[in-house]
Structures are given as C-alpha cells and as structure tokens.
Structure 1
C-alpha cells in the first residue's frame, strides 16, 4: 500500500555555484583553445562525414533551417578551471597503502559530498598561511572540522581570475597547516586560489634563501605520505551564507588514469 501524506513539510534549498569557468578568453599559463562548430558548420561537417563514411549524399540545406548540431573542441589541461587534484598528481609513489597513489577515477565518491566549512584567510599577510592562521580561524567561527568535512579556504584570490595576477598573487598553506586539517579527518581541502601551495615564485625564492627542501610545494607533496585531495580555483565563496551550515558537492569528472578532473563545485544551503 502506498501512503501519500496530505501535507508534507517542504524545505527550500538554495544552490550556490562556487566554481570558476573554463574561459578561453582569460589568461592561462597553458592557454585554452576553444573551437566552436556552430549548427550550420555542424550540418556541413555531418554531410561530409556521411559522404566519406557511408557514401550517402545529403545536402546540408535539406536539414531543418539548414542546420544540424553545434560541436565544441577544447584543448586544455585537467587543472584548468575549478578542478580536483588526485593523489597521483602529487607523485608516482605513495608512502601509504600499496605504494601506488590513486588516480581521479579511482577515488570514493563519498569524499566529494559532505558538510562544508569556510575558513577566511583574507587577512593573512604574505604568501603562506600556517597552523596559527588556521587555529585563529577556528576560534573565530567557534568550531573545528569534523571527519569528512570539506574545508574551503577563502583567500580573495578569485577576484583576479582570468588575469595574470591570479597566478602570482595569492595565499597558500604550509605543510604543518595541511597536516592539521588531515589530522582532523579532512579528506578534501579547497581554495579559491590557483594552488593550495604558495605562488611558484614565492616557493622558489624561499628555497633559494633557506636551502630547505621542505618549503618546496609542501601542501602538494604531503599527498605522497597522506592520501587526500585538493580543490583548486574555486570562486564565489563570498556568496556562502556563513562559515558552516552548508553542504558541498564537488564530484570530479571521471578521467581514466588522470591526476585531476574538472568539477562543477556547488554548495547546498537549506533555508
């Protein structure tokens, strides 16, 4: 027997897009190529394919409106736009499990949906935030992440998305800060910056000044010792209603054997 309640209590859910677009018009270290066959070009292309593969002559003008379907061709890296880094991106060997870091298509989906926590790092001075910066953020919001929390870092860098400055002017995490989050059971850490590490120039300068190899991309290289993922190049984090009370979905595109996959990251807010 089916039971239909006469009156069900409804919950309104707001969806907030926290992704940045793949935009071929923006500045990128590896420039994006986006070629578009419009519906008329698609009709001509389809006509040529039919003739070449099947020996069938079809005039493009025989199609409704003389059009078929559009087609987009893209040339880009898997680290363009909002994306999830897999453990295999951090190195070819892992010091955990069976020694082989997993690719993006091998990771459990439940990592990429869960309660979100927003940490505001916009007040940090310099290219690197550390343990004390995170602890101060925890005090401000009155809580620490629970296991399975997806932690999002708002650095303010997304204001420069599409410009060269986006790749040189942002705040990353140092190694101990990443370990602090992983110690809390966090599996996925997101940032609105180009990288979870400090900018490349800052990393190299610090290494040349100190000779300390531990300053070389520590946020990424920790992934050789502890399995976790990063979401890089998030956006619109200022639109979140607060530092918690929302859920995040950031399922990566399933690319076999890849070290990263694009994601349309969103936050769900019950109202």
Structure 2
C-alpha cells in the first residue's frame, strides 16, 4: 500500500489518568529521565556492577511509566468472552483468540447522531441508514455506530448522553457477516442509568445489557469509545485496521483503530 498517498485518521481516545469520562480511570505513574537513571543503575548494581545514576550521560536514563488500568479503559475491543462463557454453545473466544482477519477491512459508518440519549437502536433503524447510503452489507465489513458522544470526552456527561444498540440490532448486523461493530460512545448498550430504569419499571431482565448479551448467541466483537468518525470523508468503503493488544485469557484489549483514506 502506498501510505504516502493515504491520510491516516485516528479513531481512538487514549488512556488518561483521572479523566471524568471513565468510572475506573487508569492510574499512571510517570518516571522522568533522572528517575530512570537511578532505576537502571539499581538494576546494574543488582547484577554486581558498581554504577550510579549520576554516571549516565547527563545523569539521565530512560523515561517510562507504570500503568494500572482495566482493559476496558480507553478505546478497546471487547471479545466474546466479555459477554459470557459460551457463544452458541461453544467456548467464547478471549481477546488473544480473536482472528486478525475480523479486525481489518472496509468499514461502514451509520449516523445516529439525531437520536436522543437513552434511545435504543433497532434493526429497522439500521436498514434505514443503509438504504440512505445505498449500501448492502457484505460479510467481513466492519460497522461503526456514530452517535457524536465522543465530543463529550473528558466530561461526566460522556457516561450518560448517547443512544445504544439493542439486542435485535446487534444480531441483525452479525447475521449479515459483520464480526466487529464499533461505537463512539462510552458503551455499546444504552447508558447504565437508562437500562436500570427500564429494568426496574418492567422487571424484564432482557433490559440489562441486551446488546452485550446478544453475544452469547451470535459471535462478534465490539469496539467502545471510538472517536473522530465525523472526520471520515465518506460513509462506506473506509479501509480500517483495529487490531487489539493481546492479553492472555482476557475479555478485552486496548485498540487504536486507524482509517486509511485518500490524502
């Protein structure tokens, strides 16, 4: 691929300590170059070498960080194991078992920015957006749900002001061969408070994380906390890569989705 002719668009948010858009924000301890010299000198001293941090060039070693974070912080890809121990009667895949082929290809962006916070996306809504795009889904395409919620990143409202996918809508996409569905919202389902309100009102357990739990029946991955979908120059045939970090036996892995479009 001729990357010089491509514009790379970052579709992710990062790991940020203390950000109000995360209920479990990462903790990041930063070590500067002076602290790095002391640490490296200590490593050498443990091996029997008499080296002091001040002896490094300019008294500086290597900077690094120590991060404590759940793999669901920042932009991440949820594996089928996140939804339940089995999918359609078979052991659910963990994130290190996800085929790379699922995570790259052409993306379709469906615009749901006009929906109110707490609304549930239905199969009919999906078909309407596809008809507007004059597009028929093909197996292996990725579908990204654009809610506009990424504009609230860094604010507490990011956790509550977005529509979410329903179980039927999720199954509708997966049954057409879609293996990866992304959203620029905090969560794939409706906001927590809306799901809780609906459950208490109806007593219907299917109101609790319905889109996630659809993954116990149909096999797919979801990307949460995407960003910048509005920067894409078109809505279909957008080449993307969305490879997750491999974490053994884990329910999710951090991912930095990147779109590659004509410069």
Does TM, scored on the shorter chain, surpass 0.5?
yes
> Which residue in 1 is equivalent to 2:167?
175
Q: Is the 8 A contact 1:246 1:270 kept in 2?
A: no
* Matching of residue 75 in structure 1 with residue 55 in structure 2: no
Secondary structure at the residue paired with 1:179?
A: helix
| Cα offset, 1:126, TM superposition | 4.4
Deviates more, 1:153-162 or 1:136-145: 136-145
1:37 maps to: 31
In structure 2, do the counterparts of structure 1 residues 43 and 11 end up closer, same or farther at CA, with 3 Å as the change threshold? closer
> Shift of the alpha carbon at 1:149?
0.6
Report 1:162-241 matches (<5 A).
Answer: 162-241=154-233
Give the length in aligned residue pairs.
Answer: 260
Cα distance in structure 2, aligned partners of 1:32 and 1:107 = 24
Are residue 265 (structure 1) and residue 257 (structure 2) matched?
yes
Distance in 2 (alpha carbons) for counterparts of 1:245 and 1:178 = 20
Could you list the runs of 5+ residues in structure 2 that have no partner in the other structure? none
How far apart, CA to CA, are the structure 2 residues paired with 1:221 and 1:61? 56
The 1-side partners of 2:64 and 2:10 are apart by 25
C-alpha RMSD over aligned residues: 1.5
Q: Which SS does the other structure have where 1:36 is aligned? A: strand
Q: What is the alpha-carbon distance in structure 2 between the residues aligned to residue 11 and residue 75 of structure 1?
A: 36
For the residue of structure 2 that corresponds to 1:69, the secondary structure is coil
Structure 1 counterpart of 2:111: 120
1:64 aligns with 2:57: yes
Aligned residue in 1 for 2:101:
110
CA contact (8 A) 1:145 1:151 kept: no
Paired residue for 2:88? 95
Pairwise mapping of residues 143-158 of structure 1 onto structure 2 (< 5 A)? 143-158=135-150
User: Shift in Å at residue 182 of structure 1?
Assistant: 1.0
Aligned counterpart, 1:252: 244
CA gap 1:145/1:203 in 2 versus in 1, 3 angstroms: same
SS of residue in 2 equivalent to 1:57: coil
Aligned residue among 28, 47, 59 for 2:41? 47
Question: CA offsets, 1:135-166, max 9 Å, x none?
Answer: 22112111132111100010011011122111
Rg larger for: 1
What is the SS of the residue equivalent to 1:201?
helix
Task: Encode CA deviations 1:94-121: one digit per residue, 9 max, x unaligned.
Answer: 323xx21010001110000011100000
Which string of whole-angstrom CA distances, capped at 9 and with x for unpartnered residues, describes residues 156-210 of structure 1? Answer: 1101112211111111011111111112110000000011100011001111111
Greater Cα shift, 225-234 or 119-128: 119-128
Contact kept, 8 Å, 1:245 with 1:269, in 2: the verdict is: no
Q: CA deviation at 1:229?
A: 0.2
* TM superposition outliers: structure 1 runs of 4+ over 4 Å: none
Contact conserved, 1:83 with 1:252, CA < 8 A, in 2? Answer: yes
